[in-house]
Each structure stands twice: as C-alpha cells, then as structure tokens.
Structure 1
C-alpha cells in the first residue's frame, strides 16, 4: 500500500473529530509542539553539522520536520492541530539550521586555517564559551528581521515561497484540511533541496490538487479498518530506513573501507580521489535534492575532477598532491568553483534588484502608482494579538545589533574586527536580507553564498588587509540573510495554515536559543575528536571563505586559474540568466537548466559524495515516474536515511572521544580510510 493510502486510512481514526479550521482559532503555541520541535530540531542540528562539515551541504528540512512531527504526535492522547504542527516545524528549522547560520560549517573552520606567516595572524580556535558568544551575536538578528519582511513579501506582495507553500500543502493533507486557497493555481516545488547556502527549487513535489482531487484526499466515512496496522506501517518505513542508515554508519566506523570503496581501481582512488561512498544518507540526500539538482552536481564533478583536475596537474599549474588545498588540483579547481557560485548568485539577483528599483524608485520618481496602490485596505488576515508588535521588532533589532557588536568585539578583540565594522556588517546583513528573501520568494533560491561574497568585497574596501575582519563581517551579513530566508519559508507556511505569527516567532527564538548550546557543544566535540578541516571533515566552504579573503587582499591567483575563472563565470552567468528567465516564466524545461551552485558544489566535494547523491536522484526520478507524485513514501524513507547517519554519527563521535578505534583496516591499502593508521 502507498504511504498516501496509509495516511488516508490513518485519518479515519479521527474521523469523528471535526475538521481543523483555517480561521486561526486553534491554540498554536503549546508545550508539546515546542518540545517536539526542539527534539526534531536537535536531530537536524547534529545531522546538518555532520554533513555540513563533510560536504558544505545542509538542508532546511521543514517538510521532513512537519512529517515526523505529525507521526510523533500520533503517540499523544490528543492529536496535534495543524497550527501546532506549523509551530513545531518552525521551531525545528530554527534549531536545525544554526550550523550554517552561525558559520560552524564555514566561518569558524576558515578562521582555524589562518597562517601567521601568510596572513599576519595565527589560527583562531574559539573555545566553547567563545563559540557560544559568537553564536549569540548573530543568532537573533534574522529572527527580528522576519516580522517586517513578512508583512511586505508575504502579506502585501504575496510572493510564492514554493518550499513554504509545499510544506503548507503537506500539513493540510496530513490533517485532513482543504488546501489553502493560494495553492489552487500555483505549482508546488520540491521543498527539500538546499545546498550549503541556498535553497534550490527542484521538480514539483506534488501538483496542486484540484477540487476533485482534493475530495479524493478527504476521508469518507467508511466502516472501521485496521488503522493500527497501517500506522505501524508508517512507523516501519521511518524506522527501518533510520536503522539501516545507522547500522551502515557504525559499520563504516569500525571498518572504514565500507565508505571508501576504490570502485574505479586503487590507482584512481589514491592518486586522483576517485572512490565511492555507498552512504544511505547520501542517497537519501539525493532523493531529497531531486534528479535535476544531483545531475547538475555530477556534471560539475565530471568537469572539475575528470577534466580540470588532470589538466591542472599535468600542466604544472597545481604540482602538489591532488587533494592538497594549497598546491594541489583540489585547491586549483576551488577557484573556478568560487567564480561559478558568485556569477550564478549575482546574476540571479539582477531581476530582484531591478524590480525593487522599478517599484520603489522609478515609479515614485515618475509619480506612477502601480495597480491597487490606492487601496488603503490591509491584506493582513491576523488580528493584532496574533502578530508580533512593532515595538518588539524595533527593540529586538536594536538590542540584537548592539549585543552582537559587543559580543563579536569580546570574542575577537580589536585585532579581529573593529566594533564599527561589525555594526556595518549588521546593516549590510539587513539590506542583503531583503534581496535574499525576495529572490527566495520568487525562485525558491536564497543566494546567500553570493550575498556573503558581496559583503566580503565591501569589507575589503573599507577595512583592507584584515582577513579576519573580512571573514567575520561576511559571516555576519550572510547569517542575517540566511536566517531571514529560512524563517520566511516557515512564515509562509503559517500564513497558509493560519498559524499565529507570534507563536512562530516564539518558536524561532526558543529554537535559536537551544541550538546555540547544542551546535557549539557538538562542534567542540568534533574538534576534539577530529582534525577540522581534515580528511574526515574537510569543511570545503571554509576554503572558499578564506580563499576569497586572501584574493581580495593580495590579488594573487594560482597559475592560469584566472582565465578559467573568467570563462566559467561568463558561461554560468549566461546559464543563470536563462534559468532565472525560465523559472520566472514557469517554463517546464526550467528545472533541467543546470544549477550553477550545484555544479560548483561538484567541484568542492570529492567524487564519492556526488556519485551517491546521483543514485538517490535517479531513484527519485524513476520512482515518481512510475508511481506519480501523490504519495510520500520516498520522503519518509529518505528522511530516515539522512537522520540515521546524522544521529548515529554522534555515537561514532563518542567512541572516538573515548579512544575506541577501528576494528580492522582491511582493504584500506589506498590510504584514504579515515581512522586507519595508514590513512
């Protein structure tokens, strides 16, 4: 039986209950919703930190949070309302995305790579307390930005926010609600795919239900059925996928060759880094990303590791070992990757900036008023007692900026970054957040990688020569844009399901507070057990941050890399323009135009990461072609795969901390198995 059938029959268990209303009359902010959200968010936090340090790729996981929260709520005596489910997934997302928002997968590893001889400052390794201070400095700015941005882009302009819309649709189906009106004539995109910085729209998750199709999703008053058995089937799908991924992870810890199979021969594995990692979690991530995104990533892998890496090595441009990030081919192709990401992100921002200039500047200067501008009627559907008061926003923004400036100064000192420069970083973060949120609302892509690079470029001008200030200021600006974008997707979901924005605001604050401690503690344990960046956790985006900071200071590029950077930047600038036009025009081929950011990630990661994700993408494509997009079996299985490895990796971390090593290094002759003495 399909999982959609499972949910239809599961809902019969509560058919005597009235259908949940869409008028916001439910008690949205409840203890159980917050606690379940924190529990799921902590699992996502461990998972995102683990994979972020490995590959630079994390997932917002809002749809999975809503789904898992719904399943957990079935264990409670009183079923959870859809509005509570919104608060649950909002809290989970705020908790789970802190590894990226606070820079634990990029900024902090980059600071640890500093070289005193080259950069003028020694490597910076923050203590646990220092990392907590840094996290507190940037954790709340984006939260207080979200209420005014919500009013503009969700209420007034009614932007699509496809991922938030998809999550709202899922919640409406799970809770046996009619679909929100705003879904009726708009395609819904895959809400699951996000990369190291950006959310990428993939192919549609499930088409918008027509009234007839919606009726088919509602539960008729059939005779009693074996609902308990069907509920066990749903838990079974999640449990076996979680367990299988966890067992695979432990097996790879004790027998490292499990995740380092020299599929193409020992020579290619040891000399050119071509091996295969059969991680169920990577396959699950590929399912979540979707086939078009994983295809773009693998195209990048083939170009970067199959063409440019050998070319740079044999031409003498990168004479060191292939995997060396300084003198090897991996460090050489990193620059091409950086050019692609910046070009793709910046070009995708052009229509957003143009629209802002047209609406906010040109029309006002010319006196032309857009249609509907004379209407004084507010489009807000929530009462004042359910909104976040303006005074809270103003005091919160001012307080978070002042507190953040003081904490950054306390952690890094005057030698790191001047307080005035941190203040400018927060101001830039607010401005860039507007661009990022609007791009996200229209295209499901938050180009924060490009926004962070804009901030770095700006600070190379106002505070030249200071690499630490360049990285920190870029991180401050990126954190605001990233967090505001993630929270805006949640607020779009809440708007569709009529959840209280104030309740979601509380959930965001609580989730961010807990995640500061959880993320910092987990990162500190990883630092004690592993070298970061290192073989097991290369933290590829750290090299992007540090590399750009050094380039802006010195202007030195590896031999011949400048020409390739320019060529690929122009190429992917044109491709990004084509993709942006196709997406905004809703052309069916838009999803097949390569994603520049995904293509660049194929350069950053070794082939083993991309190959496994391609398997997941192929599985996703074949499954939905055969079974259609109405069911969510694959979503549950993929979620179990991802969470299984992420959570069980904590067990591996504890084992390593207490000195428990590998059981056998058999098959690790290529010297690439993490944990083996030969590695």
Structure 2
C-alpha cells in the first residue's frame, strides 16, 4: 500500500469515527477486555480458515509471478466477513455468541496474516524451490551447479525447516516493542491502515459502512468463484480457455501480451498502487516488447542456438540475469536508504530525548494515553522473551546442520547473533517507510555464505542461510507491524503474540501441504507453463554468482546487467530527489524486473485493476477508499478458492469437458 492510499484510508469515516465524540464514546463505555478474553475459540477458527484460504492465494501468486501484494487490509476484511457470517449462522441455529469486538477482529487478522506469511516467505517459490533438480537443470553447466547441490521438495523436511527457523524471529524484537511503538511512535503504515479499517468496522457510525463492505465482498467473491469455474470448463487442452485471450493480436500474443481474465491479479492490481502497476507494464513493454525480440534475433551470434531454451547460455540467461541486476540495484539502494534514515532518525530522537521536558512527556491526547496504558498493562516479561529466543536458537543451531550438512553450525550461530540487530534495523525501516527489506538482508547473507563456503557446498549453504536470515528479519518486523495495529485498537500485546504464534505454527504445518497441492497437480517450475516459479532460478543463479559463476553468462549479458543495475540506482535517486509530483511517476525497478522473467500478461491484469480503482474514485470518491479493499478481497478470494476444487478434480483425473482455442483466420481460409 502506498502513502497516498494510506492517507486516504486514515482520513476516511472509519478512523474519523473513533476520533469523533460519538466514536470515542462508543469505545469508552466498556474497558478493553483482558487478553484471555480477546483470544476465543471462534477467533482461532476464523483466523485459521482465513489464513489457509489466503495461503492458497499467495502460494498461487508466488508460483506464477512471485509478486505478492500486502494483503493485511484484505485479511482484516475477510476476517470480519467470516465472523459475521459465522455468528449469523449460529444465531439462526439458536446458539447465542458473545459480541464481536475490534480486539477479537485484530487477533483474528494477526493469526491469519501470520499463517499465510509462511506461504509467502517460506521459500516455496524462491530459495527452497531453488534446490530442486528442475531448477538445477535450468541453471545449466555453471561452476558450482552440481547434482549434489540439489534437494527435492518434501513435506517432512520443509515442515521441520519452517518450524526451527520461524519461531526464532517471533521473539527477537519483543523486548523492543515499547520503544518502537510508544516511545518512537513509528507509523507502520500498513499496520495503521489495518487498524483504521478495524476501528471503522466496530464504531457505531461504521456499522452501515461495514454492512456495505460485507455485501460487496460477498457479491464479488461469488462472481470471481463462478467465473473461475466457467473458465475451467473451457480449458480442456493445451492453450485452451480464456487464459490466453489474444486481445492485442497474435503477434503480441506470441510475446505474452494477452489478457487472461485473472480475477486474482485484477484484485491485486486494485490493492497495489498505480506506480507499481505502471512499472510492471513498463517492464513488460521494455523486455517482451523490445529487448527479447531484438536479442532473440542475435541467436547464433551473441549466444549459440544449440542449448535448451531454459539454459543460462540461451536467451533465458539474459532474462534471468538482467532481472537479477534490477532487483539487486533496487534492493541495495533501498537497503542503504533505509539504513541511513534509520540511523538519522535514531540520532535525532536521542538528541531530542536529552532536551525533552516533563511537560512535553505529558502533552499527549487522551486517546494516546489510553492506548499506551493498555499496551503496557499486560506486558510480556523481557526474561521470557530472551529465554524463548535462546531456546529456539539452540534448537535451530542443533537441527539445521543435521538437515543441511553444507551449512556448518558456526554459520547458524553467527546468523542468530546478528539477527536481532538486523531485525531491529528492518523493523525500524518498515515503521518509517513500510518497506520490508527482509529479502535484501537474505540476499546479502546468500552472497556472503556462497562466497565463504565455496563452489563445493556454497549453493546449498547460501540458499539455506538466506532463508534463515530472511525468516528472522521478516517475521520480527511483521510482528511489530501487528503490534502497531494492536496498539491502535487497544488489543493486548500478549494476545497479539499468542495469536501470531498460533498462526505461525499453523502456517508451518499447512504451507508445505498447500505447496504440494500445486507441486503434485501442476508443472511447477516450467518456464513455459503457468506456474513458472520465476524466483527459484533467480535465487539459484544468485548463489552461483556468489561462487564466481560469471562464466555462465552469454555474450554482452554482463554489460547489460551493469546498465540495468545503474538504471535501478538512478531511477531510485530520481524518485527521491525530484519534486513529489514528478517522483510519483518514476518507475519502480523492483516491479519492472518481474515481467522480464514472467511475461507481460499479468501486468495487463494489474493495470486493469488500477483502472477500476481510478473509475471508482471518479464515480464515488468519498467511499472508494473504504469499498475498494472489500471488492479486491472478494475478487482475490473467489478466484483463489477455486484452486482447491480444481486441484482435487485434477488429482482425481477429472478433465474440463471443452476446449476453447483462439487461432488466426489464415489457418481456416
């Protein structure tokens, strides 16, 4: 979510209702319930259900394009709809239930996000999948790319790896939560936006808005699910169905410019900012519209025509390594930028603290005082958090080297010694900018470990070390984001931490099962298929680069990589140094990199989502900021939920009855 969307949401009726006298009075009638009352059996069921459904959705996004938008707000909407529907069903059955509070809504949202975050960041589309044999074969004969550096996916070892790596990050920053949330008053934009939405649901003035959101969610969920079923009926063969509708003609269709009617990507486009979607389209036009046709014409000159299409010495090598150059340029720039902002902000706060007077400490609003009181009332003992972190680290240090002998125990120790400091830097940066740099920390660890271990074991050590660092840094910042939501909704930190732990444990169990639902049903990792898993080959080649694998690059590829790396840095500088009305239109290199590998089709879907939001705001700007998340959530959930019955049908060898295929008229006349 970009800052403009955040400001619009914060200025909407939902948040305003809380700050208005009516809204404040509505919340002041009863004190916030104790944390034991905020976690309910109903909440655990709802959080688990929403988390599993979103796990399926994000796994599909992970394995198709690798681009997953921030779905916190969407998860909050879905949690509200689920509990309201469940309560209504129970009431009709004669079972009375307790009132649905905003604290319970926050706990459910936290549990759901923790659950599906494992599917997002568990490496199923990146560093873990990069170990399988199919990705190894795509990487070709690069130095260090040996059969011994492979590990086929398995439910057992994946589940074990997730359990020993995920819970360490859960406790890394718990002792610093008061400093980050109360003392530093970091904004955590996504967490603040989620809190604004939840507060709007549960204020007296927000009831009418909530009912309309529920109706819109239900309506578009049904439309999306039925449309996915209708599409499936006509997909009974290769290149059959609406998935490759050649709306721009067959020449463009051959270069992946077509419309595939994906409600998931249209919904994701409605959630992402216009800048992300336009950057995707620009990357698609630059790569598939210009570069790949031109470079493809140099076959036999720049690169031989004999290697398989997926080899790094073919056109695919340019696609992969230019994408890596854009990702690294953007990641390194933003890493240094956030590090600079973090350092500058901490120094400024330390100087301000020295000059702060008692009167300034007391100059807080009644709402802030109450929030801080609730946030501090049911605290988590520091000794318990530190002991839990040490215990989880010891288990991981013992287990990881047994699972992966290539990664020695002292590297794991070093990772867990550095993790709290890295997690603090990332969580602080997320609080300032809403930019999660966890993957960039992981990439740094990948290069360092791959180079340190060497060609024999560097690939496996680098990929697993990347996963350890990324997991710790990401989960700790996600928890801080949720703490911010809890602070603004008067939810107990203990309830938040426990719901996060429940969601994380559930995610570690179900995410591998969801992955194998796709892995056993579809051709995951096929560069020509629907489930390309583009980041698997990217991560493997990053590890190979760390072990000095530049000799695998085709001719002139390295020079092009230098150029696109520089472009990524210059584009970021231009966006940060230009006036706001100009900087808001400078493309995002990280978003541009995705179509280079995947294709142009999903960028078209995402831009359709942006167009829908633009038209919605023109038609009804006042309520668009509140209704767009409900519409987008319905589209995403309906299309994503169809994956479950379609996978079951495929496993049962039930095929679609029809084949709808588009062909040029010259084939018939």
Name the counterpart of 2:321. 335
Name the counterpart of 1:288. 271
Helix, strand or coil: the match of 1:20? helix
Alignment map for 1:462-611 (pairs within 5 Å): 462-465=452-455, 466-534=458-526, 535-553=529-547, 554-556=549-551, 557-580=553-576, 587=580, 589-611=582-604
Change (3 A) 1:5 1:575: closer
Name the counterpart of 1:152. 179
Name the counterpart of 1:627. 620
**Of the candidates 41, 53, 59, which is equivalent to residue 51 of structure 2?**
41
Name the counterpart of 2:446. 456
Shift of 1:589: 4.8
Runs of 4+ residues over 6 Å off in structure 1:
3-8, 15-18, 227-232, 359-364, 373-379
Change (3 A) 1:420 1:560: same
Shift of 1:474: 1.0
Name the counterpart of 1:344. 330
Is 2:436 the counterpart of 1:446?
A: yes
Partners of 2:382 and 2:565 lie apart in 1 by 42
**Of the candidates 27, 31, 34, which is equivalent to residue 20 of structure 1?**
27
Name the counterpart of 2:296. 313
Shift of 1:230: 6.2
Shift of 1:617: 1.3
Q: TM-score, normalised by structure 1?
A: 0.82
Partners of 1:362 and 1:614 lie apart in 2 by 40
Shift of 1:494: 0.9
Change (3 A) 1:589 1:462: same
Deviations, residues 619-670 of structure 1 (Å, cap 9, x unaligned): 1122223321534333222111111121111212112212223434442779
Name the counterpart of 2:645. 651
Shift of 1:257: 2.6
Is 2:310 the counterpart of 1:324?
A: yes
Q: TM-score, normalised by structure 2?
A: 0.83
Structure 1 unmatched ranges of 5 or more? 178-216, 220-224, 671-679
Tell me if the contact between 1:467 and 1:549 (Cα under 8 Å) persists in the aligned partners.
yes
Alignment map for 1:120-199 (pairs within 5 Å): 120-122=146-148, 123-176=150-203
Structure 2 unmatched ranges of 5 or more? 1-8, 88-96, 363-368, 665-669
Tell me if the contact between 2:159 and 2:512 (Cα under 8 Å) persists in the aligned partners.
yes
Partners of 2:485 and 2:230 lie apart in 1 by 35
Is 2:69 the counterpart of 1:59?
A: yes
Change (3 A) 1:624 1:344: same
Name the counterpart of 2:5. none
Partners of 1:431 and 1:622 lie apart in 2 by 45
Shift of 1:44: 0.5
Name the counterpart of 1:196. none
Partners of 2:604 and 2:486 lie apart in 1 by 36
Shift of 1:41: 0.7
Change (3 A) 1:507 1:543: same
Shift of 1:300: 0.9
Partners of 1:120 and 1:482 lie apart in 2 by 30
Partners of 2:491 and 2:338 lie apart in 1 by 28
Name the counterpart of 1:675. none
Question: How much is the aligned-residue C-alpha RMSD, in angstroms?
Answer: 3.5
Q: How many residues align?
A: 610
Partners of 2:500 and 2:609 lie apart in 1 by 31
Partners of 1:152 and 1:600 lie apart in 2 by 36
Shift of 1:406: 2.8
Greater shift, 535-544 or 118-127, is seen at 118-127
